[in-house]
Structure 1
Amino acid sequence: MMKKTFLFLQIVFLYLGSICPAWAQSPENNSLLWKISGNGLEHDSYIFGTIHIICQDQFKMDDRILNALRSSEKIALELDLSDQSELMAMQKLSMNEDFANIENEFDPETREAVDAFLTEHYGVGLQQFGIFKPFALSSLILVKLLPCEDVGSYELFFVEKSKEEGIPMIGLETGEFQISLFDQIPLQQQLDDLGKMVTDKESMDEFLALVSAYLEEDIDRLYELITEADMFKEYGDILLASRNKNWIPTIEALIRDQPSFIAVGSGHLASEMGVIQLLKDAGYHLEPMYAEPIY
């Protein structure tokens, strides 16, 4: 099995879990959009699986998603990206304490590879960018690894729709909490995986396989791909399962109060500990909303 890199984890660190027989893997699960009803709800709500970055020409959006969004009175993302104070806090937390530069924390070969990549694509290297934490550096690198110049973001799309449609937005958790997850992963492990991002072509092959499964709306396959990550085996619970459980009370309060559109990383959806199954366990009916076939 190929060793997954920090590149892969950075994009899907929200998606991790463990595969269990209780979650039936089936083509019937092939949908990114699920309707939430029943259990005394007076109105339907929806949960949608995102991928955090994708080439714009692969960005999929259709009427079933837009109609679900427009029928809602609140939008929930993992983070409230419409909150400027949240964004400012995340920017600050993305930097090392006291702006310490981690350039010399890399082993020499890895430092050379990462520095050369950043310099080639941004004009400056680790001497300047080394003040950022590894997860922030991985984002900078990933954007330049994608096979396109025009990059799309579902989260930013929903922020714009929130403004256009006048639908309030909330976050299921804070950026401070998300960033704290990376602080629990050893620095050296993160730095080594940064080096693999720029030297190991398998990294992008893995990401492209993820994109392919996403475009097919195959949430079970997405989950299988993600759970092959070596880092998941050690940190899977804090990166996914515990967070899914923590979200359920917030989601329940939200959907009981008003029809809501909830968008989270697509790897959060499948598995016994996925949000879909946890909501079913809480008594709700979840129905996949399939895309119209293209002839």
Structure 2
Amino acid sequence: MKRHHVYLVVLFMSVVCQSAVAQKPVENAVFWEVSGNGLTKPSYLFGTFHLKGAHYVDSLTQVMDKFKSSSALVGELLIDSTLTMKMMSASIMKDTTLDKLLGADDYQKTAVWLKEVSGYDLKLFNTMNPMTIQIVLMSMVQQKYFPMNGPQDAPMDIYFQQEAKKSNKKLVGLETFDDQLKALFGQFTLKRQAEMLMEFVNEKDKAKDEIIAMNRHYREGNLMKLEELMAKQTYTEKEATVMLYDRNAKWMEQLPQLMKTQQTFVAVGALHLAGKMGLVSLLRKAGYTVKPLKTLL
């Protein structure tokens, strides 16, 4: 249970990566070189999969080579020891409980699936909002079919930041925890969260198949397939815009200056790269040359 809580903030970020709607595709890659437009050295853009770990990313030899040669690491937000408690606090419902919000039948369906994939009793999470329960279920399905390589295998976003600190790289977060909180919990009422949770639970076989497919497409570096898969999710276009594309636009206000001053390795969720409002397209529109790279040397 403790390990789950430690990584909950990273799993929280993964929900944002499921909100894409169909856009004009970019080339098939999750790793990119950014050059031109006044840059003296190229920078690099890597699409992470928040539920995969250090053991996996260590196998991506070209990704790690460019990461090691970069002077700065840029992530979605800086991950520190305070974030777990902030996330747990944000997930707590003040005026109701999960069993009351969902009703007896839906609560029981959710409890059965959680017990099946994790062994946990839903009563342990009864004060947590439905969005958090969906994140927990997603992470448990991921771990059932694609377990990390032991208790020391940190999620890749945490791993990059740990390694950057060890080598004294500059660390930059593109947004704060409060920014992410507003994009996720802030725009959804508890009723809407409950609706999305039950859509996920009622189609649990589909959810399992999609998580398996997501892992396959990510390993293949198939950004187009990832985009197609995520376009099938239940978020509205407005919700997706708040969670994904508005954030991309804000990040683009910071990235040019960061890349201008040093060779920068940018590691953000893979779906932030895709489509006409994704970072690859936005960087190209800003005048940069952005070319796909293989993840292996």
Q: Does TM-score exceed 0.5, indicating one fold?
A: yes
Alignment root-mean-square deviation, CA:
2.7
**Structure 1 contact 90–176 (Cα < 8 Å) conserved:** no
Aligned equivalent of 2:67: 69
Within the alignment, does 1:206 sit opposite 2:210 as a pair?
Answer: yes
Aligned equivalent of 2:122: 125
Please state how far the C-alpha of 1:168 moved relative to its aligned partner: 2.9
Aligned equivalent of 1:139: 135
Please state how far the C-alpha of 1:89 moved relative to its aligned partner: 2.7
Aligned equivalent of 2:81: 84
Please state how far the C-alpha of 1:269 moved relative to its aligned partner: 0.7
Q: Residue deviations 1:210-256, cap 9 Å, x none? A: 21111110112211211122214341211111111111011112111
**Structure 1 contact 17–274 (Cα < 8 Å) conserved:** no
Sort the Cα spacing of 1:198 and 1:14 in 2 relative to 1 into closer, same or farther, 3 A.
Answer: closer
* Stretch deviating more after TM superposition (65-74 or 225-234): 225-234
Distance between the aligned counterparts of 1:225 and 1:9, measured in 2? Answer: 19
TM-score (norm 1): 0.83
TM-score (norm 2): 0.83
**Structure 1 contact 75–169 (Cα < 8 Å) conserved:** yes
Task: Write out aligned runs for 1:174-253 (5 A).
Answer: 174-181=176-183, 182-199=185-202, 200-253=204-257
In structure 2, stretches of 5+ residues that fail to align are: 1-10
Distance between the aligned counterparts of 2:30 and 2:192, measured in 1? Answer: 32
Q: Residue deviations 1:156-200, cap 9 Å, x none? A: 221221233222322111122212222312322322332344442
Aligned equivalent of 1:104: 100
Identity within the alignment, %: 25
* Stretch deviating more after TM superposition (153-162 or 244-253): 153-162
Aligned equivalent of 1:4: none
User: Which amino acid counterpart does residue 102 of structure 1 have in structure 2?
Assistant: L
**Structure 2 contact 75–268 (Cα < 8 Å) conserved:** yes
Please state how far the C-alpha of 1:142 moved relative to its aligned partner: 2.1
SS at match of 2:172: strand
Please state how far the C-alpha of 1:130 moved relative to its aligned partner: 1.9
Aligned equivalent of 1:160: 162
Please state how far the C-alpha of 1:111 moved relative to its aligned partner: 0.7
**Structure 1 contact 94–133 (Cα < 8 Å) conserved:** yes
Distance between the aligned counterparts of 2:158 and 2:48, measured in 1? Answer: 11
Distance between the aligned counterparts of 1:123 and 1:208, measured in 2? Answer: 22
SS at match of 1:230: coil
Aligned equivalent of 2:282: 278
Distance between the aligned counterparts of 1:292 and 1:163, measured in 2? Answer: 24
Sort the Cα spacing of 1:75 and 1:18 in 2 relative to 1 into closer, same or farther, 3 A.
Answer: same
User: Which amino acid counterpart does residue 127 of structure 2 have in structure 1?
Assistant: I
Q: Residue deviations 1:82-140, cap 9 Å, x none? A: x3344443332232347x533310132111122344456354423x3122222222222
Distance between the aligned counterparts of 2:172 and 2:88, measured in 1? Answer: 19
**Structure 1 contact 31–217 (Cα < 8 Å) conserved:** yes
SS at match of 2:161: helix
Aligned equivalent of 1:268: 272
Distance between the aligned counterparts of 1:116 and 1:266, measured in 2? Answer: 31
**Structure 1 contact 76–263 (Cα < 8 Å) conserved:** yes
Sort the Cα spacing of 1:9 and 1:162 in 2 relative to 1 into closer, same or farther, 3 A.
Answer: closer
User: Which amino acid counterpart does residue 285 of structure 2 have in structure 1?
Assistant: D
SS at match of 1:201: helix
**Structure 2 contact 12–135 (Cα < 8 Å) conserved:** no
In structure 1, stretches of 5+ residues that fail to align are: 1-7
